[in-house]
């Protein structure tokens, strides 16, 4: 058996994130100002599209993330929906119950994350035949560096994109939208212009002025709702406004370096790299789980907390990161009770479950038991890191026991090779049963 197989952490295990990063970073840009060409591919309603293909649900309104109880009442939250459902007014983050009121015959399906990961890997294999530089931005979005096509005509570029789209449909039965532009940011914006099945080329300043400049600035990655509110006070509503006013207001709002970077991103001046082998280490590692059937059994909640710690610590070991400060959230049933969050500290920086559980469980179970005594049921739990560092750094006053280190190293080796639940604490079987948004958590 190849020893490397044992060391391959599945960092996407049970991680239902949208993207790997949210804007262009300075360290991810080319030093030279050489002109480049980028392609961004976006699968249309990926989860819903895969399920429509798998179960021949074409033409039916489909909502992903919800389910129906035995009495027919819809539960859960809509994570995404097919275009047929969107046309009826079904939106992301809408409650499944509200969606079912809009469309009583709406089809609900839970998210089968492992299925989509498998198809995403097949998609990546196809894209690798079209460019040596392919970046997986998310499970259903990819960037490609196609600078080798820079001298080609518009018609030739369209033919290249159409051939790739046709190959994807022929091999996977899935459709996508594609944007081609001279900046990574504008290629991402271009792919969103003509959904579904669209193809947009932004190759000249006139193309950008016609199709990109009128877009509101918050459609650019990195410019979220809060930053957009600040920008609007300076009269910066659209991308065209950023071109007109220059970098000065951005620098005033966000600082000299960050402001310049935001302005370059918004105006398509970024020199972003296609990150082919980059490991994207998040600022924090987190886990959140909402129960479909609320519980007043402390033992079951304890099992869910053990599971949360296991998931978070596993990913941290894969990232080669440790944490000392953490936060746990116990969510209550009642609408007027948000729940209780508390911070806790481990004896030192660690990514081993035992130390985290010893520090977390006493406080967590005191909160859970107190709620249950008051007749409050528990709706969900969450855990996330507050402060992380690289594992290579040593501490003076704390050292993880080698016996425990070896235990988790061996468990990870077995789980990485034979499946995530090959070796696990027995307490994870004390969990809250029922459906969730995701098949693998039900």
Residue 64, Ramachandran bin (φ over 0: left; ψ between -120 and 50: alpha; else beta): beta
3-class secondary structure for 152-176?
Answer: CCHHHHHHHHHHHHHHHHHHHCCCE
141 is catalytic: yes
Read off the tokens for 122. 């097949």
Distance CA 124, CA 139 (A): 10
Distances (CA, A) of 385 to 119, 306, 328, 406: 31, 15, 9, 23
- HSE-up of 333 (CA within 13 Å, CB side)? 13
Of 178, 159, 176, 160, whose CA–CA distance to 168 is shortest?
176
Show the DSSP H helices in 56-112 as ranges.
83-86, 96-102
Structure tokens, 288 = 């959140």
**38-43 and 199-202 as β-strands: parallel, antiparallel, unpaired?**
unpaired
Structure tokens at 91: 């939106």
293, 33 contact by CB (below 8 A): no
Q: Which residues contact 135 (CB under 8 A, 6 or more apart)?
A: 142, 143, 144, 274, 275, 276, 278
Dump strand ranges (E) for 101-214. 107-109, 134-138, 141-145, 176-181, 199-202
Phi/psi at 115 (5° precision)? -60, -45
Spot the catalytic one: 84, 141, 264, 400: 141
Separation between Cα atoms, residue 196 and residue 164, nearest integer Å: 16
Which among 36, 29, 37, 44 has a CA at the least distance from the CA of 191?
44
Q: Which residues are catalytic?
A: 141
């Amino acid at each position: 058996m190849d020893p490397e197989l044992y060391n391959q952490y599945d960092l996407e295990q049970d991680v239902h994130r949208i993207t790997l990063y949210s804007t262009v970073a300075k360290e991810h840009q080319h030093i030279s100002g050489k002109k480049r060409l980028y392609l961004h591919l976006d699968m249309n309603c990926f989860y819903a599209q895969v399920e429509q293909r798998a179960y021949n649900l074409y033409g039916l309104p489909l909502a992903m993330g919800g389910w129906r109880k035995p009495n027919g009442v819809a539960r859960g939250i809509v994570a995404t929906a097919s275009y047929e459902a969107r046309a009826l007014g079904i939106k992301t983050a809408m409650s499944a119950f509200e969606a079912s009121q809009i469309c009583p015959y709406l089809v609900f399906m839970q998210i089968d994350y492992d299925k989509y990961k498998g198809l995403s890997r097949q998609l990546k294999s196809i894209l690798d035949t079209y460019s040596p530089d392919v970046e997986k931005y998310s499970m259903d979005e990819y960037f490609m560096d196609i600078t080798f096509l820079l001298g080609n005509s518009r018609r030739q570029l369209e033919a290249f994109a159409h051939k790739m789209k046709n190959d994807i449909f022929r091999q996977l039965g899935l459709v996508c939208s594609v944007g081609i532009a001279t900046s990574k940011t504008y290629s991402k914006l271009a792919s969103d212009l003509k959904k579904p099945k669209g193809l947009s080329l932004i190759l000249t300043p006139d193309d950008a002025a016609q199709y990109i400049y009128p877009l509101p600035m918050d459609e650019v990655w990195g410019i979220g709702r809060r930053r957009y509110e600040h920008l609007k006070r300076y009269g910066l509503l659209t991308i065209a406004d950023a071109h007109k006013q220059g970098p000065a207001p951005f620098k005033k709002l966000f600082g000299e370096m960050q402001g310049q970077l935001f302005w370059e991103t918004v105006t398509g001046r970024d020199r972003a790299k296609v990150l082919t082998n980059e490991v994207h280490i998040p600022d924090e590692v987190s886990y959140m789980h909402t129960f479909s059937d609320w519980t007043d059994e402390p033992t079951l909640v304890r099992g869910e907390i053990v599971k949360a710690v296991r998931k978070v610590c596993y990913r941290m070991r894969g990232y080669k990161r440790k944490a000392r400060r953490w936060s746990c959230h116990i969510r209550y049933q009642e609408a007027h009770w948000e729940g209780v969050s508390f911070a806790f500290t481990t004896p030192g920086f660690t990514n081993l479950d035992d130390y985290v559980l010893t520090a977390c469980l006493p406080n967590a179970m005191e909160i859970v038991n107190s709620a249950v005594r008051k007749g409050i049921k528990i709706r969900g739990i969450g855990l996330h890191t507050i402060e992380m560092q690289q594992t290579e750094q040593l501490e003076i006053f704390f050292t993880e026991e080698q016996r425990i280190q070896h235990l988790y190293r061996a468990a990870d080796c077995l789980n990485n090779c034979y499946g995530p639940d090959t070796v696990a604490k027995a307490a994870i079987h004390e969990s809250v049963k029922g459906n969730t948004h995701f098949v693998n958590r039900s």
